Amino acid sequence: MRSGKVYKADPNDDWSKLAYWMRNDAFEQCPIPLMLLDPLIDKYVDCNIAASMLLGFSRQQILDMPITKIHGRELGRLIVFSEQTLTQGNATSNLMTCRLANGNHIPVDLNAARTVINNRELLIVAVKDLSEEKRKREQNEVDRIARNGILEWKHLQSIFQQGERENLLMLTSVGDGIYCVDTDGLCTFINPAAKRLLGRSDDEVLGQNIHYVHHHTHEDGSHYPVEECPIYAAIRDGVVHEGRQEVFWRHDGSPFPVEFTSTPIISDSSIIGAVVVFRDISERLETERRLHETLDELSELKARLEDENAYLQQEFLIEQKYHGIIGESSKITRLLQQVELVAQTDASVLITGESGTGKELIARAIHEASARKDKPLIRVNCAAIPHELFESEFFGHIKGAFTGAMRDRIGRFELANGGTIFLDEVGEIPLDLQSKLLRVLQESELERVGEEKTRAVDVRIIAATNRDLKAESARNRFREDLYFRLNVFPIHVPPLRERGGDIKLLALHFLEQAGKKIGKQYRLLRSDVDRIESYSWPGNIRELQNVIERAVITAVNDRVSIDIPLDTDRLQNNLNEKATQDFQIYSDGDMQSMVRENMLRALNKTDWRLFGEGGAAELLGMKPTTLASRIKRMGLKQNSG
């Protein structure tokens, strides 16, 4: 199933036909509920009879309904489960539920494997009803108890019929240690198992106060007074006493942990002694110790998986594309060449560029093109982490390491083990933490906060910043050795204003994306393209995306209106250039007059028509409502100058 091979019957081959129909019938008649999931459309495209009977829906109902009707409660888990199956070939999840036709939900195990049918990648999913499994187990246990109850009753009946000799034989044959004491605390009987456990003979025990033989000292070596011994308490008060975990001592002086029961022997309403049954629990305690160690390891692994799952759930909401970089300019072509080149290595990469240029997209492209693409890419926004939490966020902490540390927490470096960590805004890392980060980069080792254990990590570092780290290091605001460690392969992302024709491609891409969200299609007019290409975009790609999304939200009759703010940078540059030529400086009033005159020229050219194609609002690149507001604020009137 994992290989993805598809059976295709040869119409001229009778054996192929027979094999095809046999496999088809095996799927249909299989007693295990089986369903075929298409992850691209999030629907079940086929199911067998057992699956239909389990859910209570007809086959056609299952195929017609969206997957949220069946797994709506755990859609996020199902998405991660599907991704894991597509990546690894198979996966198992026991954290799911299915909705039945009667409206109830049942817990299920899902086991899935990837397959390919008619060149489509599908998942075949086996569904196990956990509630039915539990019911069967409980029924089996009831049957077992009933059977054992009859056998046990017959066994006891046989014992009572055999008499005193057989009873004595039974006591000497059991594996637990058994001995009897009289009212003076002297031993009157001891079975072979007790003698073996204590390393004693009959002569050393019979007729002796057995407390002084094997129970005289606590585990720490302190004296255990006989009057405090629960074994003899049963003789005094006639009540059963238990020792859950105490220590008996062997003849050679070595201790061993035991649990015991001291039961009074009563004859004619008088206590005549007590019978003590004990067993060595060394093996059980060792098993419990190993179990606790295993549980601790599983707890740590569970915490790691929960952290990874939470991170993946968050990252799944981000649109993922291989490379995903749009552009045809020479600078972007050069950038893609650098990405492909460095992706084949594990070298550290320092991505520089202005805010909003897409540095994180470049980091993702490097990771997706590398040999680590099947491992996690963990993003850390260094600018968003409080100073006192940097070390914990990077390296993790143990429970109780500081106030508020309620459990062990895995740091981002451990989460990225085997993969890539992306340190966004790396220039914001506090100077006192940079030395610890440098140690991790140099030695591939770290220690969680509050823990002395050293942990090895294998992480590829990609860092990004809009600062000049070389200048920062010269001012002693960034460690020079850390800068050189990060700057093994520098990549500079050009600002949008330097990417020429890429602006139009990006605008069309964002327009298509925004339109898909609301199920509509939009287009850009030539005047729209001219405006966006003449704008300097100080906010880069992020600003362009925001402008396009805003235009879609405010679109009227499927007609978008690109509202670009006044390009004060470009206007100022033009004024500076003119001022340099004419040796003239423009005041703020002069600039406002220029804006006013420009608006009047547009209004007069369109005969004061504000709305529609070719209207003054379109010429000025603003919304008609914005233009109307400015006309009112400036007191402009038709035929005014």
pLDDT tier for residue 320 given thresholds of 50, 70 and 90: very low
**So what's the pLDDT on residue 202?**
84
Residue 154 in this model has a pLDDT that exceeds 90: no
Q: Is the pLDDT of residue 67 over 90?
A: no
User: What pLDDT score was predicted for residue 163?
Assistant: 43
Comparing 472 with 77, which gets the higher pLDDT?
472
- Range in 15-24, 346-355, 455-464 the model is least confident about: 15-24
The long-range contacts involving 81-88, CB below 8 angstroms and separated by at least 24 positions, are 81/110, 81/112, 82/37, 82/39, 82/112, 82/123, 83/316, 85/112, 85/113, 85/114, 85/123, 86/39, 86/114, 86/121, 86/123, 87/374
pLDDT at 577 exceeding the cut of 90: no
Site of tokens 């396009």: 548
Q: Which of 635, 639, 638, 609 is nearest to 624 (CA)?
A: 609
338 token code pair = 């650098």
Residue 307 banded pLDDT, cuts 50, 70, 90: low
Domains of the chain: 14-133 (3.30.450.20), 164-280 (3.30.450.20), 318-494 (3.40.50.300), 496-574 (1.10.8.60), 585-641 (1.10.10)
Q: Which of 558, 561, 551, 552 is nearest to 611 (CA)?
A: 561
The answer, yes or no, to whether residue 289 has pLDDT greater than 60, is yes
| pLDDT digits 0-9 by tens, 381-426 | 998 888 888 888 888 888 877 777 778 888 899 999 999 999 999 9
**622 pLDDT above the threshold of 90:** no
Higher pLDDT, 141 or 20: 141
pTM over 0.85: no
CA 21 vs CA 18, 33, 115, 216: distances in Å: 5, 19, 18, 78
Are the C-beta atoms of residues 70 and 44 closer than 8 Å to each other? yes
Amino acid at 61: Q
Question: Which pLDDT score is estimated for 321?
Answer: 41
What does the pLDDT look like over 223-237, one tens digit per residue?
888 878 888 888 888
Averaged over 562-579, what is the pLDDT?
57
pLDDT at 164 > cutoff 70: no
The residue to which tokens 């290091």 are assigned: 473
Q: Give the mean pLDDT of the chain.
A: 81
Which of 102-106, 115-119, 210-214, 345-349 is most confident? 345-349
Local confidence band at 141 (pLDDT 50, 70, 90 cut-offs): confident
Specify the amino acid at residue 146.
Answer: A
- Mean pLDDT value across residues 331-348: 90
| 100 closest CA partner among 125, 77, 71, 124 | 71
Q: What is the pLDDT of residue 352?
A: 94
Residue 579 pLDDT: 47
Q: What percent of the chain has pLDDT over 70?
A: 84
Residue 325, CB-side half-sphere exposure with 13 Å CA sphere: 30
Cβ atoms of 469 and 510 within 8 Å: the answer is: no
How far, CA to CA in Å, does 387 sit from each of 392, 406, 429, 432? 10, 20, 8, 10
Q: Tell me the DSSP string of 446-472.
A: E--BT----EE---EEEEEESS-HHHH
Q: Which helix (DSSP H) or strand (DSSP E) does residue 125 occupy?
A: strand 120-129
Percentage of the chain lying above the pLDDT 90 cut:
16
* Chain mean position to CA 239: 55
Q: Which of 380, 378, 379 is nearest to 391 (CA)?
A: 380
In this structure, of 317-331, 361-375, 432-446, 448-462, the range with the lowest mean pLDDT score is 317-331
How far from 108 is each of 100, 129, 213, 618, 631, CA to CA, in Å?
12, 5, 57, 59, 66
Task: State residue 215's pLDDT score.
Answer: 83
Task: Tokens 């106030």: give the residue.
Answer: 403
Indicate the range of 121-135, 291-305, 504-518 predicted with least confidence. 291-305
- What is the predicted pLDDT for the residue at 347? 93
Q: In the structure, what pLDDT confidence band is assigned to residue 566 with cuts at 50, 70 and 90? A: low
